[in-house]
Amino acid sequence: MEKALFDLSGRTALVTGGGSGLGRSIAEAFAEYGADIAVCSRKVENCQETADWIEKTYGVKAKAYSCDVSSEEQITQTVERALQDFGKIDILVNNSGATWGEYVQDMPLAAWQKVLNVNVTGTFLMSKAVGNHMIENGYGKIINIGSVAGIRAEPPEVLNAIGYSTSKAAVHHFTKDLARKWAGHGLYVNAIAPGFFETKMTKHVIARNAEKIVHNNPMKKLGDTKSLQGVALFLAGAASDYVTGQVIAVDGGSSL
C-alpha cells in the first residue's frame, strides 16, 4: 500500500528553482520514487548539475532548462521544451523565489516589484502554462512553495522582508483560489509553507538569529530536508487524491 500511495513511476515533474536548496531536495525525492525530472532556474549550470546527479543516482530521465519565471516568454519556451523532451508534465512545483531584506521605510520600489514578479507573477505564469497542458490531460498536481512568513508576521529583528512575506501570503491565497477554479478539471493545487530551513536564501537570517528562532519554535529546532520531502511526496502522489486547496505548514509549530 505504501508504494502505491507514494509511487511516482511514469510521472514527470517540473520543479522551478530546482538547481539548489529546497527545490533540489524535492526533485531528488520525486526521482527516488520514480518520477522523471525537469528542473529550471535562471542559473542553468546548477540545474544541469542537479539533472546529471539525479540521472546517475536514480536512473530516471532528467533535463535542465534556463528560465526566468518572471518572463512569460521564457516560461512558454521552457514548458514547450519540457513537453517535447518528456511528452507530458504531471507534477509542477513552483519553487523559484526571491527576497529582499530592508526596513519598510527604505524598501526600493524596484526591490518590491522584483520579489512580487518572481514569487507571485512567476507562480501564476508557470501555473497557467503548465495548467493548460494538465487540463488537456485531465490530471495534474501543482505544489506551490509558500512560507510561514506568509502566515504570521515576524518581528523585524528576525525577518525584515515585507515584500517576501506579502508575496508568500499571496501565493497561499492563489493556491486556494486556483484549486477551486481547476478542481473540475482533475487538477490538484496545494501549497507547502516551510518554516526556517537552512538554504541559500535564509542563511543570513539564520546566522544572525538561529538561537532566537530555535528558542521560539515549539519543537526547538530548524527544519530538516526529509520533513519537506515527505510532504512534497504526499502532495505529488496518490496519497493526496482527496486533498486540494490546502496550505501545509512545515515549521515545527512556529505558526501556531
Do 27 and 60 touch, CB atoms closer than 8 A? no
Q: What is residue 247's DSSP assignment?
A: E
Cell numbers 508504494: residue? 3
Phi-psi region of 59 (alpha: psi -120 to 50; beta: other; left: phi over 0): left
CA atoms within 13 A on the CB side of 215: 5
- Of the candidates 242, 251, 121, 126, which has an alpha carbon nearest to the alpha carbon of residue 190? 242
The amino acid present at 224, given as its one-letter code, is D
Number of H helices, E strands in the chain: 9, 7
CA pair distance 192, 172, nearest whole angstrom: 9
DSSP-derived letter for residue 105 is G
Could you list the active site residues?
A: 164
Burial class (CB in 10 A: 0-12, 13-18, 19+), 253: exposed
Q: How far apart are CA 231 and CA 209, in angstroms?
A: 26
**Closest listed residue to residue 13, CA positions, set 32, 195, 115:** 32
Cell numbers for 45: 549550470
User: How does strand 62-66 pair with strand 36-41?
Assistant: parallel
Which SS3 state, helix, strand or coil, does residue 202 take?
Answer: coil
